[in-house]
Amino acid sequence: MSEKVLITKNLTKKFGDFVAVDNISFDLEKGEIFGFLGANGAGKTTAMKMLIGISKPTSGSATVAGFDIYKQTELVKSNIGYMSQKFSLYDDLTVIENIRFFAGIYGLSDKEIKEKSDILIEKLEMKSEINTLVASLPLGWKQKLSFSIAIVHNPKIVFLDEPTGGVDPASRRLFWDLIYEAAHNGTTVFVTTHYMDEAEYCNRVSIMVDGRIEALDSPFNLKKQFKVNSIDEVFHQLARKATRQAD
């Protein structure tokens, strides 16, 4: 039996009367690429914030990387990686300074930081750019760097919040190569996206509508179930039922 790195049960988040996330339950396995889809305002970001420990759930339970999200937030945070749609690196630091900083705050030793950054620079082919300010890097490079930094501490699971927004198709393709590689090395990838072609690359996909998970399966099974040819069409069939306004 494969290892579960994330388990949620009836996870719910309410803001007053508004139920942003409504009883969601799912499990993720080690090394899996999990696509978390939904229209704007469907509750994706809220759900993700609970899982990465920056928002307290109203009810329900979840363990992330084996730790309880209520009681063990610090341990959860040490064992996950996170990359937001803003690729939140420091623009006024150089490539190597960013790597050292984030590796350092994840508690890597100086020796580990040295080794890790050498490997990372090599892999990203950025040797000539290590002393370049991140502000002057092309978007595609920033994004790859941001992802590599998010997994610099070998997290059990990495959360990617619309990681490919605003990037050209070629760069997106290259970026997905990095995702595959990370998954192959045993890191579970939890990714939200608006690109339906990217959804097809995932092992499993969930589609959220009005705070609830309306569908969850492999892209192949979902297409079979809804009798269509693409995830895009599955998405549209489900999203049409939404009553909530996008924000």
Q: Which residues, other chains included, contact 226 with Cβ-Cβ below 8 Å and sequence gap of 6+? A: 215, 233, 234, 237
Q: Which of 3, 54, 181, 225 binds another protein (CB under 8 A)?
A: 54
Nearest to 97 by CA among 133, 66, 125, 63: 133
Confirm or reject binding of residue 74 to another protein (CB under 8 A): yes
- Smallest gap from Cβ 223 to another protein, in A, equals 34
DSSP state of 3: P
Confirm or reject binding of residue 68 to another protein (CB under 8 A): no
3-state secondary structure of 124: helix
Q: What CA–CA distance (Å, rounded) separates 184 from 241?
A: 36
Confirm or reject binding of residue 176 to another protein (CB under 8 A): no
Q: What CA–CA distance (Å, rounded) separates 215 from 206?
A: 5
- Smallest gap from Cβ 243 to another protein, in A, equals 29
Q: Which of 21, 89, 126, 196 binds another protein (CB under 8 A)?
A: 89
Among the candidate windows 22-30, 35-43, 74-82, 239-247, which touches another protein by CB under 8 A?
74-82
The sheet with strand 33-38 has its strands ordered as 80-83, 157-161, 188-192, 33-38, 204-209, 212-217
Confirm or reject binding of residue 16 to another protein (CB under 8 A): no
Burial of 207 (0-12, 13-18, 19+ CB in 10 A): buried
Among the candidate windows 82-90, 168-176, 181-189, 220-228, which touches another protein by CB under 8 A?
82-90
- The 117-156 contact track toward another protein, x by CB under 8 A, reads ----------------------------------------
Residue 140, both tokens:
């595609």
Among the candidate windows 57-65, 86-94, 121-129, 234-242, which touches another protein by CB under 8 A?
86-94
Q: Which of 93, 174, 216, 228 binds another protein (CB under 8 A)?
A: 93
Q: What CA–CA distance (Å, rounded) separates 121 from 186?
A: 21
Detail the DSSP E strand segments found in 30-156.
33-38, 59-64, 67-68, 80-83
Confirm or reject binding of residue 102 to another protein (CB under 8 A): yes
Confirm or reject binding of residue 42 to another protein (CB under 8 A): no
Q: Which of 27, 29, 97, 197 binds another protein (CB under 8 A)?
A: 97
- Residues near another protein (CB under 8 A) are 52-54, 74, 77-78, 80, 82, 84, 86, 88-93, 97, 101-102, 104-107
